[in-house]
Homo-oligomer: A and B are copies of this chain.
Amino acid sequence: MLDQLIDALRCLPGVGQKSAQRMAYHLLERNREGGLRLSGALAEAIERIGHCELCRDFSEEKLCVTCASSSRERHLLCAVESPADRLVIEQATGYRGLYFVLQGRLSPLDGIGPRELGLDLLATRLAQDEIRELIIATNPTVEGEATAHYLAQLARQFQVQPSRLAHGVPLGGELEYVDRGTLAHAFGSRTDAGL
């Protein structure tokens, strides 16, 4: 029973045998109430949370709050890899447009192609909706860049303007500690000082 719990806890990302064991002991010894609440929350969330039909973000309803809102600008669409990315953009920027959550990135070796990222749905939206700009906010990794490239081509097919997040030196960072790739990119893409 205890072994089964420890084994089940290992399905959590970043949790190995030792951590799972510690978690199981902690819940059983110090927080059975929290453990029961977690068990209930898990079962309920898994049963009731699905995907928004428009943006593929997690949602209990057919449409998520953002897609259902009448106050968002419907000609702007921002494509992100994950709900977490969507959340930080929503929190950090004043963006008032809509989102499209890929729930992953193109990764042929892992069997993740355009279909798995819902790009057929995205194509339909680009074709039918009044979208004028697709802001591509995938991660600056190799796979994220490949996905961005693919998305940009898709946008152009439907006469939608693709755009990317600016890359460069992070604000508040010190040049000395910025990685070489970023520094080279920032140097090459230098802009008018405007001072």
A interface residues with partner B (beta carbon < 8 Å):
1-2, 4-5, 7-9, 11-14, 19, 21-29, 31-32, 34-46, 48-49, 58, 60, 82-84, 103
Contacts and interface: CB of A to CB of B under 8 A. Distances in A.
B13 A37 contact: no
B83 A4 contact: no
Query: How many chain copies does the complex carry?
Result: 2
B83 A25 contact: yes
Contacts of A39: 38-40, 42-43, 46
7 contacts: A1-B60, A8-B42, A11-B38, A27-B42, A28-B58, A38-B39, A42-B42
A192 to B, nearest CB: 37
A24 B45 contact: yes
B41 A5 contact: yes
Contacts of A28: 45-46, 49, 58
B84 A22 contact: yes
Given A2-B49, A58-B2, A38 B27 contact: no
A192 B41 CA distance: 60
Contact of A38 (B8, B14, B37): B8
Nearest to A34: B11
Given A4-B41, A24-B45, A28-B49, 6 more contacts: A5-B42, A11-B34, A13-B22, A25-B82, A35-B42, A35-B46
